[in-house]
Structure formats: structure tokens, C-alpha cells
Amino acid sequence: MNNAFLSRRVLSIAPSPSIAANALVAQLRAEGRDIVNFTVGEPDLNTPAHIVEAARQAMESGDTHYTHTLGTPALRKAIVAKLARDNGLEYSIEEVVAASGGKQVIFEALAATLNPGDEVIVHAPYWVSYPDITRLNGGTPVVIQGHEDNAFKLTAAQLEQAITPRTKWVILNSPNNPSGAVYTLAELQALAQVLGDHPQVLIMADEIYEHFIYGDQPFTSFPAAAPDLKERMLIVNGASKGYAMTGWRLGFGAGPKWLISAMGKLLSQSTTCPSSISQAAAVAAFTGDQAPVKAMARLYKGRRDIMQVALEGVPGLTHTVPDGAFYLFVNVKGLLGKTTPGGQVLSTDADVVKYWLEDGAVATVVGEAYGSSPYVRLSFASSEAVIQDGCARIRRACEALR
């Protein structure tokens, strides 16, 4: 009966699978279960002290009021300076918008541009919310399936084949959640060459994990690789990952003024502006000491290596080495068809996730949520001790299969 009151829009989507997985961990722990949590998509570290101090000073000085809808001038200037320093990109403050997280930037950009029938190309494995945010805003997600033998990267040939007259956006996430794939300059330029022939297509570059790069190739922002396409590109980024500020809810977008203005119109009718205190903290994050960011990157690289070693030789598991972000996207095909001690045959990656949780007390996220099966995402944004413990539990659970 209650569903009769709900819109078709909300009934067409599911809750975020990664958030649901983390909520289940909290519930099981509240019930007294000892659960190792590999679901979490956020740093386990505290926000650097100088950023917290900037927030404290803002509160004490009365910086607790509404701000400009697009963000304070100080914050937008800080974002412009960050883009110049880190990415070699030139933007004005009119081409920058701050929002309550990168997710809101994505939502408002699609809300401002999509009409019924418009298509949004997303490449699997994809961040869980791209397809549903597209659907919520009347668009149609078009999924291109990635392949492990290509490190899960979108190729120019795949992109060319997927574009139609209805294509409105292409979303590219580098470093990628969940695969950890990082696109090189040459790979971005190959994609840009295709997009150059389709002027009706907008490009969204989700670069929220840019600071966590572990390979030899430096991070390249998509607009820096394809300056001719900058006028139809939107960068999505923020403070959440690189500065351990997920709870502060501060993301930003950088793109053409017409798009930023339209997004601001929507924000003026929804959240009005991000938290003034979070904005003051983000100014300190983007303009202050960057040493904590580099230290976090070194720490995560070490944790990545620890998790890989801990999973070496686990029967039925393989993975591609991630060059960025903080996840292992583990291929569990070798476990399918095996039988658990309780007599259940594992048929899907969802069965594997359930088995690891119920018998191994390790929480992970099913690859199906990212558009790719049979895979499971494991986060290494945890302490070395937690990583070692969780991987040992996974090993025991896999060795118990017959």
C-alpha cells in the first residue's frame, strides 16, 4: 500500500550497495559480531590537524551563515589555485561550484542537462551510483563492459561504438573505483580523439582519487590531456578522499560557466550552499600543507602491497594490481561451483560475499554492484592489522570450500 504513494523514479532505483554493505556491518557489530569491514570507501585516518583548526577558527569567528550558492569566494579561489598547482589547468571562480560532496556535483550536473531519452555512457566496473543518478534524472545509462585483460580500461574503439545521437554524457573515473585503473596521457588522448568527432557529447571526469597513485605514471586530469574539449568537460573532485574529509561533505565541480550557472540554479532550490564551516576547512585543505596527502598516499600504497601479499595463493582468487584508489577488485570465478561447509554451492559473486560474511566474518561489496561479475571489492583503507586479520579469514573461508 505504501508504495502507491511513491514515485516511479524512486521505485526504479535501489539504495547504494556500498552504503548498504557498510550499514550491515554496523548492524552486525551492534549485535555483538566481530566483523572485519572491507566495504568502507573512505580513509580510516583523521582529518589533518591544520584543517580541523581552520574549521574551529571559522566557528569561533562567527563564520556560520549562508554563503554564496556556488561556494565562498575564498573556497572557489582555493579550488582554482589547486587546479592550477596540481593539474596545470586554468579556471575562473565563475567556472567552479562547491557542493555537499562529489556525489551532489554529479547529481546536479545530470539534473541540469538530461532530458528523457538522453544517454549517459558509463564504463564497467563503475562507481555504484552513476547509473542510478542517471535514471533519477530521466536519462538512460549505457554500460560498456570493461575487461580484466585490459586493466578494466575503456578503449577508444569501445567508446566510438557506444556513442549514438542520443548520447549526452560520457563519465570517466580515473583513478577508478573499484578497479584502481589509472588512465595514462596517451589513453586519455585516444578517448579525446573519439570525443572530438561528437560535439554533442559532454564529458564528466570523476577525479576524486587523484592523490592516490601507486604506479610510475603520474596522474593526468582529462582536461589537461584534451584542452580542446575543456569547454564541454566537467571535473568532479573534492576534499573527501585526499584529505580524509568524507564526513565534512565538501565536493567541487569545475567546468564551463553555463553549466556551473545551471547547477547553481538547482542548488539554490535545494541545499542553498554547502556548510560554511566545511568550506573554511576545505580552503585550508586545498591551500595549506600538502604533506599529509602525500603521506596518506604512501601509507595506502603500503597497505595495497600488504593486502596483495596476504591474499597470495588463496585458492580461487586472482586480481589485477590497482594503480590507484584504495581497493582490490578480486576475481572470484575460481570459487564458483564450490560447496561451503554448510552445503551451499557458490553460484555468484553475491554468494561469495554472503559466505565470507556469514562464515568468515569479513564484509565486502559484491562486484555486481559495480556492473562486473564475478568480482568482489575489498577496501584497503584499514590498518595493517585489520588487513592481515581480514585476509586470513578470507583465506580460511576459501580453503574450507570443497
Cα distance between residue 196 and residue 387, in whole Å? 44
The pLDDT value given to residue 3: 83
The pLDDT value given to residue 16: 83
pLDDT, block means (10 residues), the chain with 402 residues: 83 83 86 92 94 98 98 98 98 98 98 97 97 96 96 98 98 98 98 98 98 93 98 98 98 98 98 98 98 97 98 97 98 98 97 95 96 97 97 98 97
0.75 cut: is pTM over it? yes
Report the amino acid identity of residue 107.
Answer: F
Give domain limits for the chain: 2-46+292-399, 49-288
The pLDDT value given to residue 13: 86
CATH topology of domain 49-288: Aspartate Aminotransferase; domain 2 (3.40.640)
Q: How does pLDDT run across 290-337, given as a tens digit for each residue?
A: 999 999 999 999 999 999 999 999 999 999 999 999 999 999 999 999
Q: Give how far Cα 169 sits from Cα of 113, 114, 345, 351, Å.
A: 9, 9, 41, 34
The pLDDT value given to residue 196: 97
What is the CATH number assigned to the segment(s) 2-46+292-399?
3.90.1150.10
CA 391 to chain centre: 23
Cell of 223: 582536461
CA 382 to chain centre: 17
What are 173's strand-pairing partners? 206
DSSP secondary structure, 243-273, as one string: TT-GGG--EEEE--HHHHHHHHHHHHTTT-S
